């Protein structure tokens, strides 16, 4: 949420393709709109073959700006060829 405290207005997802247990997945998320009062973010989940398996979109109401703690996971650049 780019350092902002938000409340969810709407959240939806579409399962595009079935995935079996044990499949390695890769997620890519983007903030599509970063306004003063609302934010819109999308996320795409891909399987090991690079096929889209899930698509999600969320709309959020911005409550206040707030600093975030250090994140325990690592972010991967979308165009990195070593993603999988």
In a domain, 84, yes or no: no
> CA nearest 30: which of 80, 67, 75?
75
In a domain, 78, yes or no: no
Give the per-residue pLDDT at 84: 47
Tokens representing 73?
């996971």
In a domain, 35, yes or no: yes
Give the per-residue pLDDT at 75: 59
The mean pLDDT of 65-72, rounded to a whole number, is 62
Helix (H, G, I), strand (E, B) or coil at 80: coil
In a domain, 70, yes or no: no
Q: Which domain holds residue 10?
A: 4-65
CA distance from start to end of the chain: 25
In a domain, 46, yes or no: yes
- What DSSP string describes 31-59? EEEE-SSEEEEEEEEE-TTS-EEEEEEEE
In a domain, 82, yes or no: no
In a domain, 75, yes or no: no
Q: How many domains does the chain have?
A: 1
Q: pLDDT tens across 26-68, in order?
A: 999 999 999 989 999 999 999 999 999 999 999 999 987 666 5
Beta carbons within 8 Å of 32's beta carbon, 6+ residues apart: 40, 41, 42
Is-contact 28 48, C-beta < 8 A? no
11-25, 48-62, 65-79: the lowest-pLDDT one: 65-79
CATH of the domain at 10: 3.10.129.10
pTM summary value: 0.71
Give the per-residue pLDDT at 53: 98
Tokens representing 27?
């997620």
């Amino acid at each position: 949420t780019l350092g902002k405290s938000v409340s969810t207005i709407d959240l939806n997802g579409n399962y595009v393709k079935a995935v079996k247990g044990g499949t390695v997945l890769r997620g890519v998320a983007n903030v599509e709109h970063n306004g003063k009062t609302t934010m819109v973010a999308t996320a795409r989940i891909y399987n090991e073959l690079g096929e889209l398996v899930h698509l999600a979109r969320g709309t959020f109401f911005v409550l206040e700006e707030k600093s975030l703690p250090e994140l325990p996971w690592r972010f991967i650049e979308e165009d990195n060829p070593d993603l999988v």
